Chains A and B, each alone.
Chain A
């Protein structure tokens, strides 16, 4: 049996889910509400569809080149130098994504739990954790995602279930929302929360049967999508759109309103946040891993361990700089612009890929 092909469909699905679900979930309802008010669940659904299209593209490409990562096959598709430039973009993008996620979570922690701790400390702890863990191989990477999956899904679902007590159906109506001024922007922002799904491109070459990547992508996207959708529905149902607009992290507020039966714990937000560290970690870990994995592939290295600490200062200083630049409020629109660059490049390579494969008569 080929030793490097060990990842099963379920494991690939787990990687997708735990990568997608990250710190974005805390602010998600606000993004959705800002553009469409009570239409938030609808916007979320549309966002999921857009993200699915992106994921589908990556999966198709991955399955076409079952033994290569995106860095490698893009060279075949659009030519060596253009592809290397594109790969550099991907690497830069995910490095920035790592730092943004680390910073946003750092903000959450500093604002809600550790009020006297400097932001840099919480961020660097998170980044160190990702860097240390990224020294392991891809196999361990997958195990880690697989192992944490229940820890990521269970608390979110629990919050949704427990918050039903305070839900008000009226808050969700009208389903279509009242005004649609920035609908497209909102859809793209929410789609951008799913950008971690890009991780599938480095997982496919190690899958036992790469052809089943479609299944993994579909399942991963559905589970993560349903969870995001439920969170948005629950938050909007509890708070109503106007209230959510004024909340920085509505999902966290949702956790505050819930309590366990029998008064085991008086409040749940800190506990929820603590468990949520896992979700943030897996997301960070994925984007960090993706960055250094792509780097090692770009420089034709067999092992990526070399970069695991090398990249960290850059990510940290970007994150620190960004924090000073844009004030304390984390802003996801940075990501969005980057995302559109990346998407653009991706679609070029994808179209090229179809063209190329057709020419050569592949199926």
Chain B
């Protein structure tokens, strides 16, 4: 069949029919075609390109009662009221100030755009491909007989979720707003927090078919211009049929594609995104995704949360330290347990060692097998809980708790201490704020358990050294992943293990190589050191 078709095409030498072309090529053949002054010809062309779309509305009318015109838009994607009152009405009714005036041949276009149309997002376009793109973007298009340009109106009104509490990054203290799927809303959420002309956004379209709008946000004068250029450069190299979430972009722009560790931070919180911009980083937002990507990213960012900065420094540091501890728990506790129990039980205090041995008396497997099985079960349980609808999830977690905790021990399948260890690990991995970093740790935990099973503590150390060496060799947009710890940076270290008071962190962290470093004014720093005035002190006797 294909053979026949090909031959017939060769014979006639006519351009291929649209349905034989790959979708992105269809519009390409009309690349240089402009709007014709013949209305019917235009209507035919547009209808032929967008034929099988029942939601395409073609509304014919007469401008000022004389000139035949047509309007195209996709219903359900546009603001219908706006179309009725702001677009159709001024086209059809001649405004009073024009009455009696004679409209010449070439004047109609100018009179309409300058004197009649009330809609602020109106513009003219003569290229037919751009016009089609505009219709697909949910703009409305008006074509008039005898006018060689089309009127485009921004009328997009796609149903979107209301701005609500971010699901993945909840805080006790701090803004309750999260990004939504609509890019314009997200940009607005950031812009009202950053009232400076230096907050700049560069737009980009990625995806052959999805034509997703991407915004690269940064603060000019803080973000390193080379970084912005590199982000644009890496993004512009992405040629793919579709981008459905910023996760697609992440996989193309990260430095090391096979590393278990994420090298790009994502966030659902506008306040966090703005904070990152203020540290000289670049945020990448996408229409259709509630997650902003932040680059460059260093490891410490995965356990920092915005609340650390909203709480007072001592408390912030305390919460952060406990989170860091949880992260370490999630990674090494099971392997340490395996190593100590099977290779070096003499490390444990004698009473405890006896208790452990008693608990393990009925368990037939070596510790490594036992821990491995329990961890796998826990992993399955966790995955099931994440995907299940909420109504079933509760039931599942009860079953899981019973099976993992109580029944496994009673059945002689696992020792009680193993259950404690597994519980600690699981809770630890839940306490890691970044889901993708927690995933990496979950994966590497299995590697460490195996190493511990083979070589004991020696193996755990070898595994940890391998992991740390890998971390130290990673780069995110040229920034060492473990900075500001290695290579050390005095300003940056104030925001790693602890969260130093804001006035200690006078400079932006060097790890993103910002252009402008000063963060807190010197006077403010000075003011914090002076004793406070006490206008309400004990009453002085006059």
Residues of A within 8 A of B (CB): 6, 8, 10-11, 109, 113-114, 117, 122, 125-126, 129, 132-133, 136, 139-140, 142-144, 146-148, 263-268, 270-271, 273-275, 277-278, 281
Given A113-B456, A113-B457, A267-B347, A277:B473 Cβ within 8 A: no
Expressed in whole angstroms, the minimum distance between the Cβ of B120 and any Cβ of chain A is 48
Which B residues touch A11, using CB under 8 A? 487-488
Complex-state Cα separation, A270 to B341, whole angstroms: 13
23 contacts between A and B (CB under 8 A): A8-B487, A113-B343, A122-B458, A126-B462, A129-B465, A132-B466, A136-B469, A139-B480, A143-B480, A147-B468, A147-B472, A264-B349, A265-B347, A265-B348, A265-B349, A270-B344, A270-B457, A274-B457, A274-B458, A275-B461, A277-B461, A278-B465, A281-B465
Complex-state Cα separation, A10 to B482, whole angstroms: 17
B524 CB-CB contact with A under 8 Å: no
**A277 touching B350 by the CB < 8 A rule?**
no
**A133 touching B347 by the CB < 8 A rule?**
no
B interface, by DSSP: helix, strand, loop or mixed?
helix
B460 CB-CB contact with A under 8 Å: yes
3 A-B pairs closest in CB distance: A274-B457, A277-B461, A147-B486
B485 CB-CB contact with A under 8 Å: yes
Residues of B within 8 A of A (CB): 343-344, 346-350, 353, 455-458, 460-462, 465-466, 468-469, 472-473, 480, 482, 485-488
Complex-state Cα separation, A277 to B461, whole angstroms: 7
Other contacts beyond A139-B480, A274-B457: 16, CB < 8 A:
A6-B487, A11-B487, A11-B488, A113-B344, A114-B343, A125-B462, A140-B473, A143-B487, A144-B469, A146-B487, A147-B485, A265-B347, A266-B349, A270-B346, A274-B461, A277-B462
**A266 touching B347 by the CB < 8 A rule?**
yes
Expressed in whole angstroms, the minimum distance between the Cβ of B138 and any Cβ of chain A is 48
Complex-state Cα separation, A289 to B461, whole angstroms: 20
**A140 touching B457 by the CB < 8 A rule?**
no
Complex-state Cα separation, A133 to B471, whole angstroms: 11
**B488 touching A146 by the CB < 8 A rule?**
yes
**B488 touching A10 by the CB < 8 A rule?**
yes
Complex-state Cα separation, A147 to B473, whole angstroms: 12
Given A136-B473, A266-B346, A270-B344, A114:B455 Cβ within 8 A: yes
Expressed in whole angstroms, the minimum distance between the Cβ of A117 and any Cβ of chain B is 7
Partner of A267, one of B346, B457, B460, B466: B346
Which B residues touch A278, using CB under 8 A? 461, 465
**A270 touching B482 by the CB < 8 A rule?**
no
When C-beta atoms are compared, the residue in chain B nearest to A108 turns out to be: B458
Expressed in whole angstroms, the minimum distance between the Cβ of A183 and any Cβ of chain B is 37
When C-beta atoms are compared, the residue in chain A nearest to B343 turns out to be: A113
Which A residues touch B468, using CB under 8 A? 144, 147-148
Which B residues touch A10, using CB under 8 A? 488
| Residue in A6, A125, A264 whose Cβ sees the most chain B Cβ within 10 Å | A125
A interface, by DSSP: helix, strand, loop or mixed?
helix
Partner of B347, one of A6, A147, A271: A271
Expressed in whole angstroms, the minimum distance between the Cβ of A150 and any Cβ of chain B is 10
Complex-state Cα separation, A142 to B472, whole angstroms: 10
Complex-state Cα separation, A277 to B465, whole angstroms: 9
Which B residues touch A144, using CB under 8 A? 468-469, 472, 486
**B466 touching A129 by the CB < 8 A rule?**
yes
Expressed in whole angstroms, the minimum distance between the Cβ of B73 and any Cβ of chain A is 54
Which A residues touch B461, using CB under 8 A? 274-275, 277-278
Expressed in whole angstroms, the minimum distance between the Cβ of B381 and any Cβ of chain A is 31
Expressed in whole angstroms, the minimum distance between the Cβ of A127 and any Cβ of chain B is 11
Complex-state Cα separation, A144 to B492, whole angstroms: 18
Complex-state Cα separation, A125 to B347, whole angstroms: 24
Complex-state Cα separation, A265 to B466, whole angstroms: 26
When C-beta atoms are compared, the residue in chain B nearest to A11 turns out to be: B487
When C-beta atoms are compared, the residue in chain A nearest to B351 turns out to be: A263
Partner of B350, one of A126, A266, A275: A266
Given A10-B488, A266-B349, A143:B458 Cβ within 8 A: no
Complex-state Cα separation, A220 to B487, whole angstroms: 17
**A114 touching B456 by the CB < 8 A rule?**
yes
Complex-state Cα separation, A133 to B472, whole angstroms: 10
Expressed in whole angstroms, the minimum distance between the Cβ of A222 and any Cβ of chain B is 19
**A274 touching B465 by the CB < 8 A rule?**
no
When C-beta atoms are compared, the residue in chain A nearest to B472 turns out to be: A143
Given A140-B472, A275-B461, A277-B461, A270:B347 Cβ within 8 A: yes
Complex-state Cα separation, A136 to B468, whole angstroms: 13
Which A residues touch B455, using CB under 8 A? 114, 117, 122, 125
Complex-state Cα separation, A8 to B473, whole angstroms: 18
Expressed in whole angstroms, the minimum distance between the Cβ of A253 and any Cβ of chain B is 15
Complex-state Cα separation, A139 to B486, whole angstroms: 10
When C-beta atoms are compared, the residue in chain B nearest to A276 turns out to be: B461
**B349 touching A129 by the CB < 8 A rule?**
no
Given A146-B487, A278-B465, A266:B458 Cβ within 8 A: no
When C-beta atoms are compared, the residue in chain A nearest to B485 turns out to be: A147
**B482 touching A114 by the CB < 8 A rule?**
no
Which A residues touch B485, using CB under 8 A? 147
Expressed in whole angstroms, the minimum distance between the Cβ of A146 and any Cβ of chain B is 5
Complex-state Cα separation, A275 to B455, whole angstroms: 14
Expressed in whole angstroms, the minimum distance between the Cβ of A252 and any Cβ of chain B is 14
| Residue in A8, A10, A109, A277 whose Cβ sees the most chain B Cβ within 10 Å | A277
Which B residues touch A264, using CB under 8 A? 349
